[in-house]
Structure formats: structure tokens, C-alpha cells
Chains A and B, each alone.
Chain A
Amino acid sequence: EIVMTQSPATLSVSPGERATLSCRASQSVSTNLAWYQQKPGQAPRLLIYGASTRATGIPARFSGSGSGTEFTLTISSLQSEDFAVYYCQQYNQWPGTFGQGTKVEIK
């Protein structure tokens, strides 16, 4: 099974600042990777797929990069609604595996 490791576990950021979240795969997943946002009491929401393609309706401040085993989600200027938990997920080996999540909290 492919293991996904996210870092850091918690990221404290001030509104308007940039946030950089990392995700590492235990073996190559090519660019078969997606990022999800989850707020308390809600289902996950798709942000990025194919490592770098924004999903429909996702603001341009969210961007994804990487391939193989190293991936990054960048939020260019954090808004109040962006404070949440973010998960990466690989699709190279089905049904897929999530990272353990990064919580983005207000500094």
C-alpha cells in the first residue's frame, strides 16, 4: 500500500500570508494526486487534481505542484475561509490513500 505523509501536521499562518503544505508518497504516484479541504462538520471538498489542475470553482490562490513522490499545495494569500484541514490523496493505486492531513490554523 502506498503511504502518504503530509507535513507539517499543523501550520499557523496569519490572514493574507502564504501557506505551503507538503505531501510525500512512499513510491511514485506520477501526477495521480489530489488535494482536499475539510472544514469541521463538513465533507471533504476537492481543490486540486492531477497534482496541479484546480477543480471547478476553486479560487486561483490555490495551486498545486509536484510529481513522483513530492507534492506541494500553496495558498498564496490566506483568507478567513481557508482555515481548515487539508489532505492529499493518491490515485495511482486504488482505491487510493490519504495523507494524515495538515491543519491550517490562524496565527
Chain B
Amino acid sequence: EVQLVQSGAEVKKPGESLKISCKGSGYSFSSYWIGWVRQMPGKGLEWMGIIYPGDSDTRYSPSFQGQVTISADKSISTAYLQWSSLKASDTAMYYCARRRRGSGSYWYDDYWGQGTLVTVSS
């Protein structure tokens, strides 16, 4: 069974650093893209970026380029999202999702983590 299990909720202060994780199981982690989606309180979904663990090829959405770092350790089937200096506006739920290519060569995101709530407050 494919599963993506994310790390637990975090409460941080502005200016602090943070790294959250997403561990994949039940499939070949290195062979599928995996990415991160932000959902601010009461708002919609925003793609932040995506990584291919097999070779660490990483793509960022323009809004998030330089704001976060996405990485992966294929030896432990885990992807990461990190901030070097958090802001109050980073308060949100963060989801990881697996991307695959299906019939007709169309891409889609088929498995999602349960979400990690990050709260940044002084």
C-alpha cells in the first residue's frame, strides 16, 4: 500500500528555521516525483515545488523560488521542505503529494500526505 506520512505539527517563532518531512512507503520512492503544496488558513491550494528523488532534479513555482528549499534523501525514502527564516505569513497546512504519469501520458498527483500544520507566531 502506497503511503506518504508527514511529520507532526510545528509551532515556531518568526526568524526560526524549520524542516518538515514526508516519508514514502509501498513504492519505489526514487522513481516518482514528489512535491509540496501550501494551503493557508481558509484558502486554496498552491504548488510550491517538486523534486525527483532519483537525481534530485527540483522545480520551484516562481512565488516560492528562494523562499524555501526542497530536498530528498532516497536512502530513507523521505522528502523535505525547509525554511531558513520563518515569517508569520508561512503559517499554513503543507501537503506532500506523489506525481505520476498515467494512461495517455498524463500527469497527476495520486497520493497525498496527511498534511503538516506549521504555525509561526511570536
Contact = CB atoms under 8 A, between A and B. Distances in A.
B44 A34 contact: no
A32 B107 CA distance: 7
B47 A44 contact: no
A95 interface: yes
Nearest to A41: B115
A92 to B, nearest CB: 9
B66 interface: no
A31 B114 contact: no
Given A1-B62, A43-B112, A44-B112, A97 B44 contact: no
B67 to A, nearest CB: 14
Interface stretch (B23-31, B72-80, B81-89, B98-106): B98-106
A55 interface: yes
A55 B61 CA distance: 26
Contact of A95 (B35, B44, B108): B35
Contacts of A36: 45, 109
A98 B107 contact: no
A84 interface: no
Nearest to B100: A49
Contacts of B102: 49-50, 53
Interface of A: 1, 31-32, 34, 36, 38, 43-46, 49-50, 53, 55, 85, 87, 89, 91, 94-101
**Leading 3 A-B pairs by shortest Cβ distance:** A50-B106, A49-B108, A43-B112
18 contacts: A34-B106, A34-B109, A36-B45, A36-B109, A43-B95, A43-B113, A43-B114, A44-B95, A46-B108, A49-B108, A50-B103, A91-B108, A94-B59, A95-B35, A95-B59, A95-B60, A95-B61, A101-B45
